[in-house]
Amino acid sequence: MSAVTVISGAPRANTRREAISAAQQAKLSALQAAAEGLDAKGIVALALKEFPGTATVVSSFGSESAVLLHLIAEIDPATPVLFLNTGKLFGETLRYRDRLQDRLGLGDLRSLAPNPTDRATIDPDGTLWSRNTDACCDLRKVVPLRRALEGFEATITGRKRFQTRDRAAMQKVEFFDGRFRFNPLADWSQADLEAYREAQELPAHPLVEDGYPSIGCMPCTRRVKSGEDYRAGRWAGLAKDECGIHGVDGEGI
């Protein structure tokens, strides 16, 4: 079968060129055309219709997660939801996860954790984050997610163009790492997210009011100061604004 090469999403330092078959390219083009003119809920519905039983959503249950999860639950609350429980999350995030699961009726929430043998070998004292944040993210996020995604043909993410420079050019449907990726909230702003959350009476993450507009693992997240970018509290002081799961897939934890 002939193949062409594409770059999915926005270019980044670690973006690899990926072989995609002619059939996959045709499918991608058809999905991108079908997504044109659809709203976020329509794109979610498109993903679940085109990939019944083989589509999943990756969620951090962070400050913006309720919107995408509500859209999913409105269509099919049994859609598998992959949640990375890194062992380093805020307690508030874990309680928020439980609250949203109950509120939305999410029927297939899968909590992912690092492999115990890997953890004992690579990070036996749990302080890897203080020495090598990339290695810690790989152990606690990238590897578990890669394993969990095996067998899925499509993912639905909460990635938005406004979040980082690298996401600014992403499309609403992409092909990445061997599967189709849907980004129904790609063109939403923070104001759009908040307006939807309030209209649907969805609970806010409890840390938002405490100065955490973007929430990841506790050791690598700080409050954001007045005038700073909303993701300034993530890996502050480091040349890093992604955890690495976009080398696999997912919502930006």
Tokens 């609970």 locate to 203
Out of 136, 137, 220, 243, which one is annotated catalytic? 243
Whether 243 is catalytic: yes
Question: How far is it, in rounded angstroms, from Cα 203 to Cα 151?
Answer: 32
Q: Is 159 exposed, middle or buried (0-12, 13-18, 19+ CB in 10 A)?
A: buried
E strand or H helix at 171, and its extent? none
**Which region, left, alpha or beta, applies to residue 57 given φ > 0 means left and ψ of -120 to 50 means alpha?**
beta
Phi, psi of 55 (to 5 degrees): -115, 145
Helix (H, G, I), strand (E, B) or coil at 227: coil
Phi, psi of 158 (to 5 degrees): -100, 20
| Spatial CA neighbour of 139 closest among 253, 236, 243 | 243
Question: How far is it, in rounded angstroms, from Cα 179 to Cα 177?
Answer: 6
Answer whether 2's CB lies under 8 Å from 22's CB. yes
E strand or H helix at 145, and its extent? helix 143-148
Q: Which residues are catalytic?
A: 243
